[in-house]
Structure 1
Amino acid sequence: MHIEVRNVNKTFGDHKAVQNVSFSIERGKLIGLLGPSGGGKSTLLRILAGLETPDSGDIFINGKRVNDVQPQLRGIGFVFQNYALFKHMSVFDNIAFGLTIRKTSKAEIKNRVNELLDLTGLRGFEHRYPHQLSGGQRQRVAFARALAPRPDLLLLDEPFAAIDAKVRKELRTWLKGLIAELGITSIFVTHDQDEAVEVADEMLIVQQGRLEQQGSPVHIYTDPQTAFVAGFIGHSSVVEEPGRLRGFERTSLSSGARALIRPEFVEVGRQEEIAFPSASEKGKVRHIFFRGAHLELDIEVNGNRLSAHRSLDQVPLHPGQEVSVLIHRLYVISEDSATMVENPLKIDPLPVHI
């Protein structure tokens, strides 16, 4: 493994910022470190960089324990969310900064900076100063400066937070391609689920200083291992009495069970549109929201409010309309687990009497 974190803990006063966290990362992977504010993301990143010292546990890079290695000797590039560019330096000098303090030869600095100007699309901007650049261009300079010393590991702390939405999406695509081209192991902190799902090869989900789950975006979305991950990833509705929903009364759900239901788990329409009418029940459309490629429906079913998606190609529904609702599946949640349950009536439908 390229990066390995073993049983790391970090406390600030009474606050347990990182609690017994362990994970490993293969070389060349782009990892999204995701979680709510105050969950420990930035602290973990700073521990990897050597800017914070763990109270216990070990950090290995390329098989070498680096707990006592100074930050500048760890072979790490760091990109901050506020760029942290030197205002009095040109783009060229900002990119060259790390090489200059290492006393790299002028010829090598020139070659490396020119290489990075081409790689990051900044050719022609080398003599400009940060205030003469757009937000996206400044962030590209920050990336180039971090990459200049050829680090083994690139760390990015919410690198797109200060950039508007359109440019942020463009930079995400650009960064993913750049990292793949360079083959450099990278970890980026974000609180944006869409950003992590779009960019990351793998995600690390943390909350309250604990690692909840590690895996590919698809694996984490389709197979959440904890109640927190099931509720945090995606957009879910919480149902307090899932055993009262059509079909699920036939399961062994306890009266105190709670469930999470994602929009894609819910089928809504006129009765003839529903694939398993015997498994559906009546509901009412409360609100309809246009989401570009689809409509999002706010549905009331048996006292519960659920979200569902509907194609723009289907017959339009309207607020107040009574509809048939089929819940295909749901996640039953407990304190520390999430279990998917399929609607039994889809598998074993009720008999139809003619």
Structure 2
Amino acid sequence: MATMEAVQFSFTERNLALNKVPIPEVRNPLDVLIKVAYAGICGTDLHILAGEYPCRQMGAITLGHEISGTVVEVGCGTNTIGIFKDGGWAQYVLCPEEQVHKLPQNLTLEQAVLAEPLSCIAHGWDITSPLIVGEKILLLGAGITGALWACVLHLQGHRTVVVSEPNTTRLEMMRKLNTNYKMVTPEQLKKNAQKDPEWYSFDVVIDCSGDVGAIEQGFSLMNSGGKLVVYGVAPPANKISISPYDIFRKEITIVGVRTNPYTFKKALDLIASLGSRYLSHTALGVKPFLLSEYQEAIDTLKKGTIMKAVFRM
């Protein structure tokens, strides 16, 4: 039986390891076998590794739900790829046909590994619209999702945007996108809001951090009629403390954004529109790793010296 390398997680042992496993076989007529080119490491994956987010608990599971690659075999269910069903941190992955999307010829596999996070942003855009040019927007978090939100906002003409992030290295990486957005730490945001409360009050706050303190700070700086967009994935047990009276007084709308229902086509269109102007891996702080470098990839991402780690096969 032909085998492949896969980075697998054991929920019961809280252990991540590079294993030799059989290459999946196409047995269902609606399955597609993909030879993986790139597979991203998502913040959700880090929550899974920390035991803070549910995943398949029986046996070892191959993580990775951000995948680009080449079809090598087709059979012509659904559990989430890389969370409840083996995913793309491997040389091959078996996917349901309905979850496979053909790339236009002008898109690269390198760009396409960002399709899954962009499909989530596309869904967020849909349910928070209208986002009106001229509104003041606060982005909380300068990881890859914050960076991609910044790219999409800039593409759509938004210029009055502030990005808040405690990691100054990530703020410096965000500056490479040349959006001219204001980059501040949470402490700088607090001081600026005290000095100039009129400018540092926001019509839209988009949380990409999943951090309780960041969300509470963002909420405190909202204008009347504002929208709070809860986009970042927080551990399920975490709670925020906000005043119901302030929600009432300011007529605040709170919007939750969960994953990417039926928005992959929009994500591919976004990639085509964003192009190399925004989606350079270098500018976005995306660093490739081999599967065998999985621990270095996880550690580097946790240190915050890169925006995103991807496995390159």
Normalised TM-score (structure 1): 0.25
Greater relative CO (CA pairs within 8 A, separation 6+): 2
More strand by share: 1
The structure number with the bigger radius of gyration is 1
